[in-house]
A and B are shown apart, each in its own frame.
Chain A
Amino acid sequence: MNLRILVWRELSERPSAMLTSTLAILLGVTALVAIRHVTVFSEREVGQQLQSLGANVLVLPKDATLQDYYSADLTSQTLPESHVASILLANLPGVERLSPKLCVSAKIADRPVTLTGILPQSEFQAKAAWQSVSLFSNKHEGCTKAACGPKTYDAAPESLASERTIDQLKGNEAVIGADVAEFSKLQPGKSVTILGESLQILAVLPRTGTVDDSRVFAHLHTVQRMTNAGEVVNAIEVMGCCEDAAGSLVPRLAELLPDSKVVTISQVVSTQVGINRLMSQMSLFVVGVLVVVGGASVASTIASNVRERRREVGTLMALGATPGLVTRMFLLKASILGLVGGIGGCSLGLVSAKLLGSHWAGVTVAPLPELLLMALAAALAITTLAAYFPARSAARLDPCRCFSEV
């Protein structure tokens, strides 16, 4: 016999008596865990997007969305490639690079991939020489990045994933994403056949965790020829020197290309950032509800339990139980409720987060151990604190109750 057995036997005798309180805690923790998980992964997703396209502007077909761009689902919507020349000729301030792309669906070894035609930067040099235009010469005044020195772009083909542009790419060459390399067992130097044409693999991109992992990048004109698409692109990425420049480019590009949609990543993600902030605040609200409702339920249940067990407590005290032991008895019971509710809530919350995250927020949720531990600790703390005063009142019961008749 020990305190743990004493408490456990009592709980096992009438588990349904504690059901309401445990359920309140469980539901509160479920909501907290689910909302926080989805919020955290949604924020990370936004952060990744910001990181990869922070100061960039996207020129898209009028009816396309950023989501279409990220899911490489632009095959039916195009822009004339001449828009690239228009942007070059306009020599807008703060533009550092252009990256026009044409995406089409294809297959390698019966696995779907996105064949992305991309114009290497060397082509712009050729265009600039032909047009007698000084390439990207209009610097942004007051550039926030200027103090850090001029930006340098890595010329290595593997940097396409991070830089969003490639310096050199021949018509018969390709750069493949990490997933493509993995399932097709391809590496630099080998060749890949796609849409009936053989391309030499120049480089394999590092894994990014984005749709780029399943892309095959080839020369834009090669892809146009392979698909008979004509001189069109799906998107033109305009790299700005800083976010201020990107912001000011939007109206100028919109004016320059009235048949296109011009967006910055920060505009698009601001809605998502707002939603994430709301969800974050919602999780604080849930914590409040958990404290009030769950705590009140536990306090009420333990108080009721103390009243029911007055004679028993009096008897224990007559047998030599100290007030401290009586307090610990009820606090331990409350802690067990908190533990059960917390573990159940964390498990259910995690399952909910996985389902809600993929269906509603489009993010893949993985368990966050620190968050789960915090939720469990919160459940334990709330139940123990809520039971404190009823437990103390039990300790102050008159032991003479053991002599009272039924």
Chain B
Amino acid sequence: MFQLQGITKIYRKRRQEVIAFRVDQLDISAGEYVAVVGPSGSGKTTLLSLLGGMLSPDAGQLLFEGQSLYDLSLKDRTRLRREQIGFVFQTFNLVPYLTALDNVQVPLYLNGIKPIEQRTRAASLLEQVGLGDRLDHKPCELSTGQQQRVALARTLANNPRLILADEPTGNLDPESREVVLSMFDAFVRDGRTIVMVTHDHSAAVRAARKVLLRDGQIIGDTNDAISRSHCA
């Protein structure tokens, strides 16, 4: 699905340059469940942004399904995110003034789905995550676990092929964490791909592949036999 070749991303601020991420070669296949682990500032979020088509690299090429992602126009990348990629955020990023139902409808609206169908699908997704009786509740009226479930329902709204998750279990209690990770397991069993950034060891062990980052570079990858020991 993804091929990163000679990628470098540099942040420049006040005449200082920081290499946020650098990799010579990284391949992620369709159907993989990848956990990206590493300390703060190691480049995890930068990697996620690169994969999501939101941050163009300063050097190298990033191929998505064989096509250079950053040679696509902004419009095409936006459409790609809308149709094929789902995001899960550490702080859920629900729109605070919209109800649970409205929040799940947002990606459907952005994808041009008709209002009646939006409502039906959104209600169905919320039902699946156990929030069928909370459709008209705003985020401030939901618990943390419930908010993350709404966010998950939103992620799945457009039936994406790929989920990019940024610390999806970071703020959750064990029960809610299990709900999220179970959904991820089911997602992968359907043949779809997850790239998850996490500090949570219990979440990382659920992934079939672990990639270890430090100082913007991959120092370990369970796909790579030599560096497998770093990820142990």
Contact = CB atoms under 8 A, between A and B. Distances in A.
Contacts of B52: 318
B111 A320 contact: yes
Contact of A315 (B55, B83, B95, B109): B95
B102 A9 contact: yes
B93 A315 contact: yes
Contact of B78 (A6, A322, A398): A322
Interface string B76-114: 001101110001011101011110001001111111000
A14 B79 CA distance: 31
Contact of A317 (B54, B89, B97, B98): B54
Interface of chain A: mostly helix, strand, loop or mixed = helix
A40 B152 CA distance: 62
Nearest to B109: A1
Contacts of B231: none
A312 B78 CA distance: 16
Interface in A363-406: 398-400, 402-403, 405-406
13 contacts: A6-B98, A9-B98, A9-B102, A13-B96, A312-B95, A312-B96, A315-B89, A316-B110, A317-B54, A323-B74, A403-B45, A403-B89, A403-B90
Interface in B19-68: 45, 48-49, 52, 54-55
Given A2-B115, A406-B91, A318 B54 contact: yes
Interface of B: 45, 48-49, 52, 54-55, 74-75, 78-79, 81-83, 87, 89-91, 93, 95-98, 102, 105-111, 115, 118, 154, 158, 166
A51 to B, nearest CB: 59
In the complex, the 10 A-B pairs of residues with the closest C-beta atoms, listed nearest first:
A320-B82, A13-B97, A1-B105, A1-B109, A315-B93, A399-B54, A320-B110, A400-B49, A319-B107, A403-B45
A400 B55 contact: yes
Contact of B83 (A312, A320, A403): A320
A353 B137 CA distance: 46
A322 to B, nearest CB: 5
A402 B155 CA distance: 14
A311 interface: yes
Nearest to B83: A320
B75 A319 contact: no
B106 A316 contact: yes
A141 interface: no
Q: Which of A13, A403, A405 has the most CB of B within 10 A?
A: A403
A110 interface: no
Contacts of A402: 87, 89, 93
B78 A1 contact: no
Given A399-B54, A403-B48, 14 more contacts: A13-B97, A312-B93, A312-B96, A315-B93, A318-B54, A319-B82, A320-B79, A320-B111, A320-B158, A400-B45, A400-B55, A403-B49, A403-B89, A405-B90
Contacts of A321: 78, 110
Interface residues of A, number: 28
Contacts of B105: 1
B43 to A, nearest CB: 12
A315 B82 CA distance: 12
A403 B91 CA distance: 8
Contacts of B110: 316, 319-321, 325
Contacts of A400: 45, 49, 54-55
Contacts of B115: 1-2
Nearest to B197: A403
Contact of A1 (B82, B87, B108): B108
Q: Which of A1, A12, A317, A400 has the most CB of B within 10 A?
A: A1
A318 B83 CA distance: 11
A1 B118 contact: yes
B222 to A, nearest CB: 24
Contacts of B54: 317-318, 398-400
Contacts of A403: 45, 48-49, 89-90, 166
